[in-house]
C-alpha cells in the first residue's frame, strides 16, 4: 500500500549488495528496544526451526491473529492519524467519478448485463467502495446491483466497513458479504462482476531469492544474538543467505520465464500469493470457466466482468523495494514488528502472466495518465466552481495535485485494467492506450529494479 512518506527513496540498481550492508542499513537503532509480542514470536520460531523467510516475517507482522498490524484494532492504520493515506482518503473524486465511471463504461460495453455484483480486495475503511457505489447505483437500473463482496480478514476493519456501507446497502437493497479469501466468492456466469484491488497486492507476503552458482537461494531472517545470548547494537534480527537452494526458492526462481535468464548475483522479490490471487481474479472475471466440462462447447458462457488493480510498482520484478512505514515515514523493516506496515512493490508483469488465457489485461499505466484521461481536472474544476468557500476550492485543487503529481503518487501508483472482453478498440480500452509492440529479432533482457528506501 502506498504510504505517502515525507521522503521517498529514489529508484536505483543495487543487484549485488552484500548482506552485511543490508543488515547494517536495516537494523540501526533497534538493539535497545524492548521486545514486542510479534518480535518474541519471530525469535521463538527461529530458535525452534531456524531462519524464517521474509514472507513468514511479513505474514506474522501484518496478519498475526491478535498482534498483527491489520488485526490489532489499536493500530490507527488509515488517514492523517494513521501510518499512511490512500488515494480514496484524499478525494472522493478518485473513486466516485473516475473509477466508478470506468466501471460503468465497461458495463455498457459488455451489453448492459441485467445483474451486477461488485468485489473489493482489501477494502480498508470502505471509503473507495462507498465512493464508487454512489456512481454505480446512480447509473445502473433499479435492482441491477445484487451484491457487494468484500475480501477482508481483519474483524476490526470489517466493523468499520459495516459502518461505512451498511446503511447504503439497506437503502439500495443489495447484499453485503465478507470473505476471508477471494476463492470463497463463487463464479456467477449470469452476473457481471466489477472488481477492484486498491493497494492490496503490495501487502502480500514476499519471498526474496538470490541467484547463485548453484541455483536460486532464499534470503532469510535469522537471530543476530551471539551464543551467549547477547544482542548486538544492530538489533536482534539479521539477513542471511541460505547455503543451498530449496524446493521453494527453486520453484519461485523458475515461476516466470523472465527470471530464468537473470545473471548470478541477481536478487528478486517474488510473491507467490500474488500469482495465485491474480489467477483467481482471471477465473472470476472470465466469461467462461476454463475448468468447466462445458467450456469448450460454450455451455458455461457467462457475461464476464472487469477489474482495476491499483498499486505501486511496475511491469517488472524488483530487488530492493521491501520497506516499512510508521507515522507516514519509512522506517527500518525490523522496527517494532507488528506496529508498522510492511510493503513491497508489485510486479505487474507477474500478475498478467497469472491471468494469461483467462482475461485481457491493459497496462499498467501511471495513475496520473489514468486520471487525466478520465477527466480528473475537468471534474475537479466543476467541483471547485460550485464550492461554498475559497477554502473548499483550495482543498479540491490540492487533492487533484496530490493524486496526479508525476513526482509522487501520480507516477508511483500504476493501474492495470482487466476485462473479459477481447476487444482492443480504443473505445473499449480507454484510458488504456493499446500500442502495437515493435517487431524485434530477439527478446529484451529481463529487467530488475531496486527501489531503495534509504
pLDDT tens digit string along 388-434? 888 888 888 888 888 888 888 888 999 999 999 988 888 889 999 85
Letter string b/e over residues 70-103, b meaning 16 or more CB atoms within 10 A of that residue's CB: bbbeebebbeeebbbbbbbbbbbbbbbbbbbbbb
The larger pLDDT score, comparing residue 14 to residue 114, is at 114
| Nearest residue to 152 (alpha-carbon basis) of 132, 175, 124 | 124
The larger pLDDT score, comparing residue 257 to residue 76, is at 257
For range 214-221, the mean pLDDT = 98
- pLDDT of residue 14 exceeding 50, the answer is no
| Nearest residue to 398 (alpha-carbon basis) of 3, 77, 93, 76 | 93
Q: pTM value?
A: 0.85
- Please state, rounded to an integer, the average pLDDT across all residues of the chain: 84
For range 61-77, the mean pLDDT = 77
Of all residues in the chain, what percent carry a pLDDT higher than 90? 57
Give the model's pLDDT for residue 13. Answer: 38
For range 131-149, the mean pLDDT = 94
| Nearest residue to 397 (alpha-carbon basis) of 380, 375, 372 | 380
Helix (H, G, I), strand (E, B) or coil at 269: strand
- C-alpha separations of 276 from 154, 183, 281 in Å: 21, 10, 9
Cβ atoms of 320 and 219 within 8 Å: the answer is no
Round to whole Å and give the CA distance between 110 and 47: 56
Q: How confident is the model at residue 1 (pLDDT cuts 50, 70, 90)?
A: very low
Domains annotated on the chain, with CATH: 11-45+205-269 (no CATH), 87-203+271-432+445-451 (3.40.50.12710)
Give the model's pLDDT for residue 252. Answer: 98
Give the model's pLDDT for residue 148. Answer: 98
Residue 73, preceding bond cis, omega within 30 degrees? no
Give the model's pLDDT for residue 56. Answer: 97
CB neighbours of 259 closer than 8 A, spacing ≥ 6?
253, 268, 270, 317, 446
| Nearest residue to 129 (alpha-carbon basis) of 120, 138, 137 | 120
CB neighbours of 107 closer than 8 A, spacing ≥ 6?
113, 116, 140, 192, 194, 306
For range 363-383, the mean pLDDT = 88
Per-residue pLDDT tens for 230-251?
777 777 999 999 999 999 999 9
Give the model's pLDDT for residue 71. Answer: 77
Give the model's pLDDT for residue 84. Answer: 40
Of all residues in the chain, what percent carry a pLDDT higher than 70? 82
Per-residue pLDDT tens for 142-198?
999 999 999 999 888 999 999 999 999 999 999 999 999 999 999 999 999 999 999
Amino acid at each position: 500500500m502506498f504510504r505517502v512518506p515525507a521522503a521517498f527513496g529514489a529508484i536505483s540498481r543495487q543487484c549485488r549488495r552484500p548482506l552485511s550492508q543490508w543488515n547494517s542499513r536495516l537494523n540501526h537503532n533497534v538493539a535497545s528496544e524492548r521486545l514486542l509480542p510479534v518480535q518474541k514470536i519471530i525469535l521463538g520460531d527461529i530458535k525452534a526451526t531456524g531462519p524464517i523467510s521474509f514472507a513468514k516475517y511479513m505474514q506474522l507482522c501484518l496478519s498475526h491473529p491478535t498482534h498483527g498490524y491489520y488485526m490489532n484494532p489499536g493500530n490507527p492504520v488509515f488517514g492523517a492519524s494513521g501510518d499512511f493515506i490512500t488515494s480514496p482518503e484524499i478525494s472522493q473524486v478518485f473513486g466516485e467519478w473516475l473509477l466508478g465511471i470506468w466501471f460503468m463504461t465497461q458495463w455498457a460495453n459488455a451489453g448492459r448485463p441485467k445483474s451486477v455484483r461488485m468485489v473489493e480486495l482489501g477494502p480498508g475503511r470502505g471509503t473507495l467502495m462507498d465512493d464508487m457505489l454512489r456512481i454505480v447505483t446512480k447509473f445502473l437500473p433499479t435492482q441491477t446491483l445484487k451484491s457487494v463482496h468484500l475480501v477482508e480478514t481483519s474483524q476490526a476493519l470489517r466493523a468499520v466497513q459495516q459502518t461505512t456501507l451498511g446503511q447504503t446497502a439497506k437503502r439500495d437493497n443489495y447484499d453485503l458479504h465478507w470473505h476471508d479469501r477471494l476463492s470463497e466468492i463463487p463464479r456467477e456466469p449470469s452476473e457481471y462482476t466489477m472488481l477492484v484491488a486498491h493497494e492490496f497486492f503490495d501487502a502480500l507476503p514476499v519471498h526474496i531469492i538470490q541467484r547463485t552458482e548453484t541455483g536460486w537461494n532464499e534470503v532469510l531472517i535469522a537471530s543476530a544474538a551471539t551464543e551467549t545470548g547477547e544482542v548486538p547494537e544492530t538489533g536482534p534480527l539479521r539477513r542471511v543467505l541460505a547455503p543451498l537452494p530449496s524446493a521453494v526458492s527453486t520453484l519461485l526462481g523458475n515461476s516466470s520465464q523472465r527470471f530464468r535468464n537473470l545473471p548470478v548475483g541477481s536478487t528478486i522479490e517474488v510473491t507467490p500469493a500474488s500469482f495465485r490471487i491474480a489467477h483467481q481474479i482471471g477465473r472470476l472475471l472470465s466469461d467462461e470457466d476454463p475448468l468447466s466440462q462445458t467450456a469448450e462447447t460454450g455451455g458455461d458462457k457467462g457475461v464476464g466482468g472487469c477489474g482495476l488493480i491499483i498499486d505501486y510498482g511496475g511491469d517488472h520484478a524488483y530487488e530492493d523495494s521491501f520497506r516499512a512505514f510508521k507515522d507516514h515515514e519509512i522506517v527500518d523493516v525490523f522496527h517494532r514488528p507488528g506496529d508498522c506496515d510492511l510493503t513491497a512493490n508489485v510486479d505487474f508483469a507477474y500478475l498478467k502472466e497469472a491471468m494469461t488465457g483467462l482475461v485481457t489485461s491493459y497496462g499498467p499505466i501511471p495513475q496520473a495518465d489514468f486520471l487525466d484521461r478520465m477527466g480528473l481536472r475537468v471534474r475537479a474544476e466543476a467541483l471547485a466552481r460550485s464550492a461554498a468557500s475559497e477554502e473548499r476550492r483550495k482543498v479540491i485543487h490540492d487533492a487533484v495535485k496530490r493524486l496526479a503529481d508525476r513526482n509522487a503518487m501520480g507516477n508511483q501508483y500504476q493501474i492495470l485494467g482487466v476485462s473479459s472482453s477481447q476487444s482492443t478498440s480504443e473505445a473499449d480500452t480507454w484510458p488504456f492506450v493499446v500500442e502495437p509492440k515493435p517487431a524485434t529479432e530477439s527478446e529484451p533482457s529481463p529487467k530488475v529494479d531496486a527501489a531503495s528506501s534509504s
